[in-house]
Amino acid sequence: MAAASSARPPDCGWRSPPWPLSARGGTARELRALLGTADREAGPVVTAAARELALTGALGVATRVWSRVPVSDAYREALPDVRFDDGLDPGAVDAWVREATGGLIEALPLEITAETLLALVNVLVLKARWEKPFEGWLTRDRPFTDASGTTRPVPTMTKGVPLADVWAVDGTYVVELRCTGGEGGGDGARVRFVLGEPGASAGQVLPAGWADRAAGTPPETDLVTIALPRLTLRTRITVTGQLPALGVRLATSDAADFSGLSPLPLTISDVVQEAVLKVAEEGVEAAAVTVVAMRAGSAAPPPQRVLHLAFDRPFGIVVLPADTDVPLFAAWQADTPSGPAHT
């Protein structure tokens, strides 16, 4: 999942990543406290989670490991769906990222240097059509006021939304749009657009996007319409510096124990994630690449009541799989939206 704000969703954006499987001792204890699993028991959890995500239509999940150091046979066998490559060619890694994301992300979001001994790269991609697309002829420029108070016209889509797909959580409105399952079948992903009171921060608004649906209050209206900007969001987050605040200190120190991965001492040097999210009339595209690098240790007749939700100020976006409310992507549109090409 890609998080573009300080609001922390469930699982902290880590949906059972493979690297805690290799942790041992105190390193494993810290990671288990954060992620719920580590050490040898993490293998089946990681594999099951990836396969569960793949059941969501139009969603692709892939993990690959490049290494300049020996990787234990037990680690490879514990991750049957992960491809392992001996060697670490930056050009090959970038080419794989580009292909795996369909060009949404052009290259790995960090530089591979001579000190980089291993890179574990995870890719999550969603390219899906809305079940009910926006009508392109209704899109027109409408004002959007960004977080700094500057107002500019941006291409804005409009349509009606079923009452069942709109609710409020503590004064924040949530609108859920469903995607089709795509050619591969399976239920489609869900995208929630979250609109708070004017001036509300990401931390105040975004959590409503993954809150229990049952906690929401239905709007007292007969019809809901929305005005939503076309947008392209791109974020890059360096997670490494945030790990100590989450209780993970050993993994990035020379005292790290990843002996389940390699007989050579390794420590995490960087954890970086880049995400891209595009929203347009026909559908949504989203991609996230997370890399863990290791170094050596050391329009109907008007009813009586109409609710019109204009996303004309900073708002949140949360992408969920078909079957759970654990976010795949979360983003905060604070600046004036830069829209994708008209679809």
340 phi and psi, to 5 degrees?
Answer: -70, 170
Structural domain harbouring 248: 25-127+233-278
Residue 165 in domain:
yes
328: Cβ contacts below 8 Å, ≥ 6 apart = 1, 2, 15, 53, 59, 124, 126, 189, 286, 288, 319, 320, 321
Are 54 and 115 found together in one domain?
yes
212: Cβ contacts below 8 Å, ≥ 6 apart = 325
No. of helices (H) and no. of strands (E), the chain: 5, 16
Q: What pLDDT is stored for residue 188 in this prediction?
A: 87
Q: What pLDDT is stored for residue 66 in this prediction?
A: 93
Please state the pTM of the whole predicted model: 0.84
- In the chain, the number of structural domains is 2
Are 186 and 239 found together in one domain?
no
- Residue 75, classed as helix, strand or coil, is helix
Residue 54 in domain:
yes
Residue 341 in domain:
no
Are 166 and 55 found together in one domain?
no
Residue 59 in domain:
yes
| Burial of 167 per CB tally in 10 Å (0-12, 13-18, 19+) | buried
Mean pLDDT by runs of 10 across the 343 residues of the chain is 35 54 90 85 86 83 91 91 92 93 91 91 90 94 94 95 94 94 77 94 93 90 94 87 89 92 91 89 89 73 73 93 85 84 50
Residue 317 in domain:
yes
Are 113 and 66 found together in one domain?
yes
Q: What pLDDT is stored for residue 107 in this prediction?
A: 92
Q: How far, in Å, CA of 91 to CA of 106, rounded?
A: 11
